[in-house]
Structure 1
Amino acid sequence: MDTKRISSKLEQALSAQMNVEDLQSHVYLSYGIWATDKGYNGIGNFLFRHAQEERNHAIKFMEYILNRGGKPKVEALPAPGNDPKNLADCFNLVFKHEVENTEKIYALVDLAFAEKDWATWNFLQWFVKEQIEEESLAMDLIDKLNIAGGDQATDESLFTLDQTLAKMPDEAEMARNATAENP
């Protein structure tokens, strides 16, 4: 008996988005490594936690596809790209990635609507809301850096920004607290 309750087209599109979320995780991981290497440990850890959140998003897509009787396909991921030039570039790239991801989520919502797959349409509403939060967070990073002085920020204001982001709440566990049993 065939138990698949999702079209092949949606299955492939959701699987592709699973891989996009995984790539986003790698991008945030690479930015976190860059920030930590530059001495911004708080910003680095914030980005590491965000990398974990993006991985969790990939897992949500994987689980949904499996629960609908489909089989997600893990694809090879491209390299995350070059390191940011500075903090302003880093935060602008974060915003750019989030806007691009929002566009991909909207395309999935359109596809689910066109196919009248209301279960998938409903599932995707969580991601629509999440992308509003993600874009707002990215804009907040840019605003905080601008308030600190932008490219002309003093070491003291960058230190304060670094400390602020280290304490910022996040959905994902602190990266340094992760274990094999509790990723």
Structure 2
Amino acid sequence: MLNEKVVKLLNSQINKEFYSAYLYLDMANYYAKEGLSGFENWFVIQAQEERDHAMLFRQYLLNNGHEVKFEAIADPSKEYKGYKEPLEAALAHEQYVTDSINKIYDAAMEVKDYRTRQFLDWFVKEQGEEEMNAEDNIRKFVLAGDGKGLFLLDQHFQARTYAAPSLVLD
């Protein structure tokens, strides 16, 4: 059995991951409304990844004999003031998620929960990639500018495809 503090944090992370999916779908909706289907695609895929992360945390708790408790998911709807704002909000959100996962890792370290630490290692690496991708999207946006550059970046984002996570749960 896992430590109850760690279980509580893992349950909370499930809800944070589902919220992340909602948030990214809201961003996708914004870009769809603006006619940027590539940006929309990028965030729809990001939402799928976040949902998968929630499901991995869920399965980990179940595999370790713990109950999963879902909380209400807050409404992520926001009015954006330009194409760059959702990209910046995505980076800030990924930094928030990284901090949350690090807190779970710290709690697991305190109680010498090696199994959970090993499970979280994948998420620590994944969050590094998530933050890097969000930073890259902002850099690309700044480089692209308006007009033809924005169109080309939108086409680039349209090419993104979904890939299921490769984490194997014991």
Which residue of 157, 160, 175 maps to 2:149?
Answer: 157
**Does 2:53 match 1:57?**
yes
Once the two structures are superposed, what CA deviation does each residue of 1:55-105 show, in whole Å capped at 9, x if it has no partner? 000000000000011011011011114132211111100100000110001
1:177 paired residue number: none
1:169: Cα distance to partner? 4.2
Which residue of 23, 48, 68 maps to 1:72?
Answer: 68
User: Which stretch of the first structure deviates more once superposed, 161-170 or 21-30?
Assistant: 161-170
2:45, 2:161 within 8 Å by CA — same for their partners in 1?
A: no
1:156: Cα distance to partner? 1.5
TM-score (norm 2): 0.93
- Give the superposed CA RMSD: 1.0
Once the two structures are superposed, what CA deviation does each residue of 1:127-159 show, in whole Å capped at 9, x if it has no partner? 00000000000001001001112xxx2x21111
Which residue of 35, 53, 60 maps to 1:39?
Answer: 35
**Does 2:103 match 1:107?**
yes
Rounded to whole Å, the distance in 2 between the matches of 1:105 and 1:10 is 11
Dislocated runs of 4+, deviation >6 Å? none
TM-score (norm 1): 0.87
**Does 2:102 match 1:119?**
no
1:114: Cα distance to partner? 0.3
Rounded to whole Å, the distance in 2 between the matches of 1:170 and 1:106 is 26
Rounded to whole Å, the distance in 2 between the matches of 1:63 and 1:84 is 35
* SS in structure 1 of the partner of residue 78 of structure 2: coil
Q: Pick the structure with greater CA Rg.
A: 1
Once the two structures are superposed, what CA deviation does each residue of 1:22-78 show, in whole Å capped at 9, x if it has no partner? 000000000001101100011101100110100000000000000011011011011
1:31, 1:83 within 8 Å by CA — same for their partners in 2?
A: no
Rounded to whole Å, the distance in 2 between the matches of 1:171 and 1:85 is 31
1:12, 1:72 within 8 Å by CA — same for their partners in 2?
A: no
Q: Structure 2: where are the runs of 5+ without partners?
A: 165-170
Between the two proteins, what is the percent identity of the paired residues? Answer: 36
Q: Structure 1: where are the runs of 5+ without partners?
A: 173-183
Rounded to whole Å, the distance in 1 between the matches of 2:90 and 2:157 is 14
Which residue of 8, 14, 18 maps to 1:12?
Answer: 8
Rounded to whole Å, the distance in 2 between the matches of 1:38 and 1:146 is 18
Equivalent residues, number:
164
1:176 paired residue number: none
**Does 2:115 match 1:87?**
no
The residue type paired with residue 163 of structure 1 is Q
